[in-house]
Amino acid sequence: MPKYVWFNGSVVEWENAKVHVYVHALHYGTAVFEGIRGYYFDDVIKIFRLRDHLKRLINSAKILYMNIPYTIDELEKASIEITRENGYRENVYIRPIAFRGLGEFGVRGLKSSIEVAILAIPLGKYLKSEKVRCIISSWRRPPNDVLPVEAKASGIYLSSNLAGIEAALSGYDEAIFLDYDGYVCEGSGENIFIVKDRVLITPPVYSSILEGITRNTVITLARDLGYTVVERRISRGELYTCDEAFFTGTAAEITPIVEVDHRVIGNGDVGEVTDRISNLFREVVSGHVDKYVSWITEVKPKL
């Protein structure tokens, strides 16, 4: 575990970063969070798209009627500070979380305090397999007039928890959700792309997906490589018969999908388009591509 956590404006020791069992978020899921990768290259940790993640944190909170008591600049400074203080010389995962704390014990919780913490921990591969086998989940993502799926909110991730457990108990690496109309949506914690005739296709933002930052990165990189990217709905049959498929996400990065519901995707191996985009992605997050260097925040770990 890390030595320190940034908690409500101060760096505190890990064992002192505590909340009460009475906090509103524990009972009602009223929290928003982010996951941010930091890659250790050239003796520095290179945090990828830090401000974009923090902007989404603020927007997620806004959707939930939560006013985070820190600016993006303050959260950025805090994220850099806690990454430096823990002194890791390996890839890290930064987790900002804002949640309703003590104050009002009722469903609304409008009088509860807003607590903010930022953690930085070591993290390698999230999906343990380099090429994942998936199952279509029996659970579906709700429409955005049932739950605000645009927000990266803790309560919404109960469905991800259920789908992920279902996949694991069925012997698969990951689950794929369908949306409320039966179209391919996303993984339990990842966006999804398919490739057909060298064209990348990904579900649109109105199809109950979280608008992923890695998703946006892949769209940008793919177009810069000369590929066409289309945002439209994907049928279940299209997923089964596509040439390539892959997940994108901060934790998952770019992970090829080689099987869905006992159907082999493509030739059952990493596709050419997926491989090319993955290689560029690795160069970008390492800070070695000048065009995208503005996406990188460098942090020198403390000795």
Query: Which residues are known catalytic residues?
Result: 152
The answer to whether the beta carbons of residues 210 and 191 sit under 8 Å apart is yes
Q: Which residues contact 49 (CB under 8 A, 6 or more apart)?
A: 36, 213, 217, 295
Q: Report the SS3 class of residue 195.
A: strand
Distance CA 153, CA 265 (A): 32
Phi/psi of residue 90, each to 5°?
-165, 175
* Closest to 274 measured CA to CA, from 213, 222, 209: 222
Amino acid at the residue 132: V
Amino acid at the residue 32: V
Distance CA 142, CA 182 (A): 11
Distance CA 138, CA 178 (A): 9
Distance CA 146, CA 148 (A): 7
The answer to whether the beta carbons of residues 53 and 122 sit under 8 Å apart is no
* Closest to 175 measured CA to CA, from 163, 185, 157, 162: 163
Cβ of 67: how many Cβ atoms within 10 Å? 9
Distance CA 139, CA 73 (A): 38
